[in-house]
Amino acid sequence: MADDILKVTRHENYAVLALNRAEKRNALNQPLIEALNGALAQLEGDKEVRALLLRGEGASFCAGVDLKEVDESAGGHNVTSLEFVFGRLEKFPVPTIAAVQGAALAGGLELALHCDLRIAAQNARLGMTLGKVGLMVPYDFTRKLIEICGAANTAMILYSADLFNAEHGLAMGLVHEVTPDAKLDSSATALAEKVAGNAPLSLRAMKATVRRCMSETFDAWHDDMLRMARDVRHSKDAKEGVRAFLEKRKPVWRAE
């Protein structure tokens, strides 16, 4: 199953993980999340890996969490697992690169943001659309947005729930480089090879130093925010928003 939904390709000194649910725009369901976790766990101990490239098969990078799993009637979604895997990606011992095309929405955008470097195709569309379905961005994911693009841009991204093109994403700091659609794979591969060509001990030490600096900056008490997020996830509005999305209709909000 994992081989079907996540392709793992090992090169001489870097590895590529490719999300392979193209028919679902690579939406994150539980099997895919678990496959990512397993692949990251295996590669963490590989001393020959000096860079990790993350990409999506098909027209989109990742459209976010599979909302069919959020709907209670479809079995529920394990939010803790998602946060754990993103944290593992963030702490991966060598530099990580996301190659982003098409949709990178909500959890899909966060997946890219938890990589160290991001290259976007011109057709990329970036956004945190959870407000449109009545869900809450987890604390750690909000922290990551602020870390990457600042509080003002984070407020615009979250409150508007709009989609931003690649150039706008570049201006906000969401991506480092924009490339023509047809050159995304070659540009991302070239960057992975460039990074992986550097001294392995230096790369690991620099990655650890950057992460230590940022982790201390955002180490704030937030138990109340976790409770608020839980209340939002369990609200009637959240159930209505997800079902309205699945039924392709406009939600009716009741602040309940």
With a cut of 80, say whether residue 73 has pLDDT above it.
Answer: no
- Rg of the chain, C-alpha, whole Å: 18
Q: Which domain holds residue 99?
A: 2-181
User: What pLDDT score does 70 carry?
Assistant: 67
State the chain's maximal CA–CA distance in angstroms: 56
Q: HSE of 168 in the Cβ direction (CA atoms, 13 Å)?
A: 12
The letter for the amino acid at 209 is: T
Kindly tell me if the per-residue pLDDT of 188 is higher than 90: yes
pLDDT band at 1 (very low <50, low <70, confident <90, very high): very low
The model's confidence at residue 67, banded by pLDDT at 50, 70 and 90, is confident
Q: 3-12, 115-124, 152-161 — which is least confidently predicted?
A: 3-12
Mean pLDDT of 167-171: 97
162: region left, alpha or beta (phi > 0 left; psi from -120 to 50 alpha):
beta
Quote the number of domains for the chain: 1
Where residue 242 falls among pLDDT bands split at 50, 70, 90? confident
In a domain? residue 246: no
Q: Which of 111-120, 124-133, 213-222 has the lowest mean pLDDT?
A: 213-222
Residue 247: per-residue pLDDT: 85
Residue 229 located in a structural domain: no
Asked if residue 203 is part of any domain, the answer here is no
| Residue 251 within any structural domain of the chain | no
Tell me which of 226 and 159 has the higher pLDDT: 159
Average pLDDT of the residues of the chain:
90
pLDDT band at 75 (very low <50, low <70, confident <90, very high): very low
β-strands 96-100, 117-121 pairing: parallel
Q: Higher model confidence: residue 131 or residue 175?
A: 175
The answer as to whether 247 is a domain residue is no
Segment 150-163 shows an average pLDDT of 96
Q: Taking Cα atoms as reference points, which of 156, 55, 161 lies closest to residue 115?
A: 55
Per-residue pLDDT at 99: 98
Entry pTM:
0.87
CATH for 131: 3.90.226.10
Q: What would the pLDDT profile of 9-64 be if each residue is shown by its tens digit?
A: 999 999 999 999 999 999 999 999 999 999 999 999 999 999 999 999 999 999 99
In a domain, 191, yes or no: no
Q: How many Å separate Cα 17 from the centre of its chain?
A: 13
